[in-house]
Structure 1
Amino acid sequence: MPADILVKLYGLPPCPAVPDGVVLRHPLPHERSAIRMWISREFSDSWADEFDTAFCSTPPTAWVLQRGGELLGFACYDVTARGFFGPTGVKESEQGQGFGRLLLLASMHALRQLGYGYAIIGSAGPLDFYLRTLPAMLIPDSYPGIYPQPVDKY
């Protein structure tokens, strides 16, 4: 079962350098639909729905990673709940190049800049990745966390 992770934001490692030819930035409003469709196609409709919430803030509380016009990955923070990280994803063909780590640390540093001392990664995916990358710990008895039984799709 996935568990929640507590991240100490005042002890973060530095954000890695963005590789040559790759851009890390906040998405712009006119790109919202295109990125949302990409997230829905590559990952899930529910992640795309959460991405939409990033646009409740200016700048949006999301990052996109791209090479030329090609999206490589995305990460959201402060969308599902205050101080929460995710969803996040890297295109399957681009995994293993450090892009997930880059998106994660950029998001954690952004949460710290917003004034948070701690962040939560809800129903954390690859636990070992998060625990190896961040000053973090599992939160006991945190499943299912803030995520209720989903509404049935009609």
Structure 2
Amino acid sequence: MDYLVKLYQNAFLEPLSVAETITIRKPIGTEKHVVLDWIGAQFNQRWQSEAATAYSRHNSLFIAVHDKEIVGFACYDGTAKGFFGPLGVSEFAREKGVGKQLLRKTLNAMKEAGYGYAIIPTNSEDYYRKYLDLIEINGSEKSIYHDMVG
């Protein structure tokens, strides 16, 4: 199912008032292979492909780094313009706010790039509902991924 998130009116996107414990940033060119290999090993090749596309288009890929190790990633515009995701966090870093920080940073980047809405294709809407007001897109059960090969 796909969901819309209003980027122009969303309290979640306001700056954090506490210090962030994880560094969220865009990878630089010399890190590209390391980041993409990590995504493929931690998650799957489809997410690796989406991240590679997001990186190549506008470097709309973010990584979460802790002690010089990647612990998560998120991107947008990997599959289609306006699409958020995927979002992935290593087992070590789950339940520590890393996903929340990646989500905030990536959605803010979309807002700054001029998007009024983000489309989130997900089967994990409960996770996103903790932070965002999701608007279900009727008829999007198959999403943009409905006719993939492989």
The two structures have a TM-score, normalised by structure 2, of 0.91
Q: Aligned Cα RMSD in Å?
A: 1.5
Instruction: Mark the runs of 5 or more structure 1 residues left unpaired by the alignment.
Output: none
| Matching residue's letter, 1:130 | Y
* Deviation (angstroms), 1:4: 0.5
Alignment correspondent of 1:39:
39
Q: Distance in 1 between matches of 2:72 and 2:19?
A: 13
Runs of 4+, deviation exceeding 4 Å: none
> Which whole-Å deviations, capped at 9, do the CAs of 1:21-49 have from their partners, x for residues lacking one?
x2110011111111111100100011001
* Deviation (angstroms), 1:68: 2.1
Q: Distance in 1 between matches of 2:134 and 2:53?
A: 25
Instruction: Mark the runs of 5 or more structure 2 residues left unpaired by the alignment.
Output: none
* Count of residue pairs the alignment pairs up: 147
Alignment correspondent of 2:4:
6
| Matching residue's letter, 1:19 | E
> Which whole-Å deviations, capped at 9, do the CAs of 1:93-119 have from their partners, x for residues lacking one?
210011111111111111110111111
**2:75 paired with 1:76:** yes
Alignment correspondent of 2:125:
127
Alignment correspondent of 1:144:
142
Q: 1:71 to 1:91 in 2, by over 3 A?
A: same
* Percent pairwise identity: 36
The two structures have a TM-score, normalised by structure 1, of 0.88
Q: Distance in 1 between matches of 2:90 and 2:60?
A: 20
Q: 1:110 to 1:18 in 2, by over 3 A?
A: farther
